[in-house]
Structure 1
Amino acid sequence: MTDKNNRIPFDEDNYTHNINRDNERKLDRRGFMKTLVGAAGVFAVSSLPWGAVAAKELLGLGNKEYPHQKIADLNAVAIGDAVEFHFPGEHDSALLIRLGDEKFVAYQNACTHLRCPVFWVKDKNEMICPCHHGKFDVETGAPTAGPPRRPLPEIEVEVKDGAIFAVRVKRYEA
């Protein structure tokens, strides 16, 4: 809105046409990009401690050993039976299966697809995840059917003094 002389028809000091006129260019494109780069830098620096923790865990040599935990007495588990237990923590569900006189396998009891519980079906001699029909080989923990692509994390067991103990969780080998 200008008059014939190309003048603004009101005083420059009258800010009613644009209340924030002095501040309207505070965040232009360059300022926005500086803010964006600064925020990305803060995020990158703040994630370094978590990367260090992950690297430390991945570079740990060998399998991590936990305090040995008694699962069951040897004579309490018949061949073909399974026993549920918690290892290494109280919220980590696991499954021990006795395959022979002196052959035991144990796995963490969470499907590697979406962490649904895995069940031992004795009469079919297979481990199944009912959520998406996943199946796992009882000897190796490797997936044999369904969407899971990684084997179940194996738990090493040890028989000592007439009892079965959970010793460590084996590292996943790609």
Structure 2
Amino acid sequence: MKDKKSIPAKDDNYTHNISRNNERSLDRRGFMKTMVGAAGMFAVASLPWGTIAAKELMGLSDKEYPHQKIVDVKDIAIGDSVEFHFPSENDSAVLIRLSQDKYVAYQNACTHLRCPVYWVKEEKEMICPCHHGKFDVVTGAPTAGPPRRPLPEIIVQVDNESVYAVRVKRYEA
């Protein structure tokens, strides 16, 4: 008499662990095969998108955007700031005039949890009010609080008595 639990050779395929009596019950090995197969399918399906993202990220440090006028030199006093959007309308940024000829600009989303960062002229610091993060105005590096990475710097250029945003200098680990 043949054992009921044994599987005939002709039925030995990927569905050997499914009962034929309208009830599906997977054993551990069948479950793991299914999970590994599903993970493999997701990995293969996401490869094209990962390749596109990698190509985009690799070129970000050198990516130059169309120059965008921020403000006329005469309209910003030393120690003042101007908020603007760069490189897109969804990217908020701040320009600060440190001296007669020195301007710095940063994306003003905190590198901790993306809260807005504000220039406080009286304290000469860039402050994130959410978790008391502070950033050095000259370098964009964090000086206090939970942020560990500097703010992404926006390279600016003065031309014809106007300040222009040119490109975003990304943080490099």
TM more than 0.5: yes
Aligned positions of 1:1-174 closer than 5 A:
22-24=21-23, 27-60=26-59, 62-174=61-173
112-121 vs 57-66, which moves further: 57-66
Q: CA deviation at 1:47?
A: 1.9
Amino acid at match of 1:150: R
Q: CA deviation at 1:21?
A: 7.3
Distance 1:61 1:83, change over 3 A: closer
Measured in 1, the distance between the counterparts of 2:60 and 2:142 equals 26
Measured in 1, the distance between the counterparts of 2:168 and 2:58 equals 16
Q: CA RMSD in A?
A: 1.7
Task: Give TM-score, length-normalised by structure 1.
Answer: 0.83
- Runs of 4+ with deviation above 6 angstroms: none
Measured in 2, the distance between the counterparts of 1:50 and 1:90 equals 24
Measured in 1, the distance between the counterparts of 2:131 and 2:67 equals 33
Measured in 2, the distance between the counterparts of 1:142 and 1:59 equals 22
Amino acid at match of 2:91: D
- Number of aligned residues: 155
Please tell me whether Structure 1 or Structure 2 has the larger radius of gyration of its CA atoms: 1
Amino acid at match of 1:132: H
